[in-house]
Amino acid sequence: MARILIVYDSRTGNTEKLAYAVANGVRRVSGVEVILKKARDVTPEDVAGADAYAFGSPSHFGIMSGEILTMFTNIYPHRHTLAGKPACIFTTGAGSQVIALENIERILGTFNPKWIKPGIAVEGAPKEKDIEQAEELGEKLAKAALSK
């Protein structure tokens, strides 16, 4: 059984919708367990116990949200528990979602994950095609976790 940790921050629900869609995509694959957590609730044990990861953030001031940055800062001392494992990222924004995605890519890159790309950057509330894309990303992540 592979454990997939999906971590997100969301104030108005846009990023949360993508997080749920990634989770639904993961659930298309058998032999995986999904753990969906808000960034502020994530512990180093959650990170160490997972086999793959998805991180989602709204764009705040053009970069990842403070909650997501704090979470990365907190787990940084435990980054070796994430290194080499599959990870993907997703963002929403009002125009700066791609910049926020690149920002997370740079920070999470210091943890040396096995990237599952491309990530998803959605403007505004996710539409049906964005939900489908997020589900596909979740499915790809789950398959990568199982093929380790």
Ligand X SMILES: Cc1cc2nc3c(=O)[nH]c(=O)nc-3n(C[C@H](O)[C@H](O)[C@H](O)COP(=O)(O)O)c2cc1C
Query: Nearest Cα to 97, choosing from 118, 111, 83?
Result: 118
Query: Nearest Cα to 15, choosing from 116, 134, 108, 145?
Result: 134
Taking contact as CB under 6 A, which single stretch among the options 21-29, 40-48, 78-86, 87-95 is the one that binds ligand X?
Answer: 87-95
Q: Does 103 bind ligand X (CB under 6 A)?
A: no
Taking contact as CB under 6 A, which single stretch among the options 27-35, 43-51, 54-62, 140-148 is the one that binds ligand X?
Answer: 54-62
Of 89 and 145, which has the nearer Cβ to ligand X?
Answer: 89
Of 5 and 57, which has the nearer Cβ to ligand X?
Answer: 57
d(CA 115, CA 49): 18
The footprint of ligand X on this chain (CB under 6 A) covers a number of residues equal to 18
For the CA atoms of 118, 119, 120, 121, what is the dihedral angle to 10 degrees?
-110
Taking contact as CB under 6 A, which single stretch among the options 59-67, 75-83, 103-111, 133-141 is the one that binds ligand X?
Answer: 59-67
Of 20 and 111, which has the nearer Cβ to ligand X?
Answer: 20
One DSSP character per residue, 37-70 reads EEGGG--HHHHHT-SEEEEEEEEETTEE-HHHHH
Q: Does 59 bind ligand X (CB under 6 A)?
A: yes
Q: Report in angstroms how near the CB of residue 14 gets to ligand X at its nearest.
A: 3
d(CA 130, CA 68): 21
d(CA 97, CA 62): 7
Q: Report in angstroms how near the CB of residue 20 gets to ligand X at its nearest.
A: 11
Binding site for ligand X (CB under 6 A): 10-16, 58-62, 92-97
